[in-house]
Amino acid sequence: MARIEDALCEMLERALLNSGLSSDIAKVVSRAGCEALVRPGGRLARRKGSQVVSSVKRKAKRKVSAYQKAVGKHLKALKRKHPRTPITKLMKKAHRLAKRSRK
């Protein structure tokens, strides 16, 4: 796989050089272009000696509500007390306890 990727990058770089770009710009653009083609999903990866920056965006963290925290706490306690009980029953119980504790 690495050989194919390197060959593709070299071909792209030669084409860019022939079109009149400077050598350092052609190298950076060809690396970015061929990695986007070779990698699944078009994500760019950081490589040694390359100036390619990762294009993966970070997900925004969600705000955990007080209710969700209470349900989690009750569910954890119930799971410790009743490990064999199905999770659906424990969730219902945790929901009721969280509602009651928030009043």
Determine the average pLDDT of the residues in 27-40.
68
d(CA 64, CA 78): 20
Residue 32 lies in a domain: yes
**pLDDT beyond 80 at 36:** no
With respect to residue 90, please indicate whether it lies within any of the assigned structural domains: yes
How high is the pLDDT of residue 29? 76
Domain shared by 38 and 70, yes or no:
no
The whole domain housing 35 covers: 2-42
What value does the mean pLDDT of the chain take? 80
In a domain, 25, yes or no: yes
CA-CA distance, 70 to 64, in Å (whole number)? 10
The residue with greater pLDDT, 30 or 19, is 19
Q: How confident is the model at residue 79 (pLDDT cuts 50, 70, 90)?
A: very high
**Is 57 part of any domain?**
no
**47 occurs within a structural domain:** no
Q: For residue 58, tell me if it sits in a domain.
A: no
Domain annotation covers residue 51: no
**This prediction's pTM:** 0.43
CA–CA distance, 32 with 72 (Å, rounded to integer): 44
